[in-house]
Amino acid sequence: MHGLNIWQILWESGLVVKFVLLLLVLSSVLSWTIIWQKYKELKVVTEANDKFNDFFRKSNSITDINKEATENTESTMGLMFKKGFEELNKTLGAVGRGNLAGHFSTYGLQSLERALKSAYNTANERMDLRVSLLATIGAITPFIGLFGTVWGIIDAFSGLSQGGGSIEAVAPGIAEALVATAVGLAAAIPAVVFYNLFNNQISRINSQMESFSQEFLNLVERTVLVKKEQ
- The candidate with the shortest Cα–Cα distance to 24, out of 196, 207, 146, is 146
Q: Is residue 110 part of a domain?
A: yes
Residue 48 has pLDDT above 80, yes or no: yes
Type of residue numbered 10:
L
Q: Is residue 210 part of a domain?
A: yes
Domain count, the chain: 1
For residues 38-48, average pLDDT: 95
What range defines the domain where residue 74 resides? 6-54+62-229
Range with the lowest mean pLDDT among 65-69, 75-79, 174-178? 174-178
d(CA 15, CA 169): 19
> DSSP class of residue 13?
S
Compute the chain's Rg from CA coordinates. Answer: 29
Type of residue numbered 43:
K
Q: Is residue 49 part of a domain?
A: yes
Q: Is residue 166 part of a domain?
A: yes
For residues 192-220, average pLDDT: 94
Q: Which of the four pLDDT bands, split at 50, 70 and 90, describes residue 229?
A: very low
Q: Is residue 85 part of a domain?
A: yes
For residues 211-224, average pLDDT: 86
Q: Is the dihedral of CA 126, 130, 131, 135 positive or negative?
A: positive
Q: Given this model, what pLDDT does residue 230 score?
A: 43
Q: Is residue 1 part of a domain?
A: no
The Cβ of residue 229 has, within 10 Å, a number of other Cβ atoms equal to: 8
Please state whether 114 falls in left (phi above 0), alpha (psi between -120 and 50) or beta: alpha
Q: Which residues contact 162 (CB under 8 A, 6 or more apart)?
A: 169
Residue 4 has pLDDT above 90, yes or no: no
Q: Which of the four pLDDT bands, split at 50, 70 and 90, describes residue 102?
A: confident
Q: Is residue 207 part of a domain?
A: yes
The answer to whether residues 202 and 81 touch, using CB atoms and an 8 Å cutoff, is: no
Q: Given this model, what pLDDT does residue 10 score?
A: 65
Q: Identify how many contiguous H helices and E strands the chain contains and give both numbers.
A: 9, 0
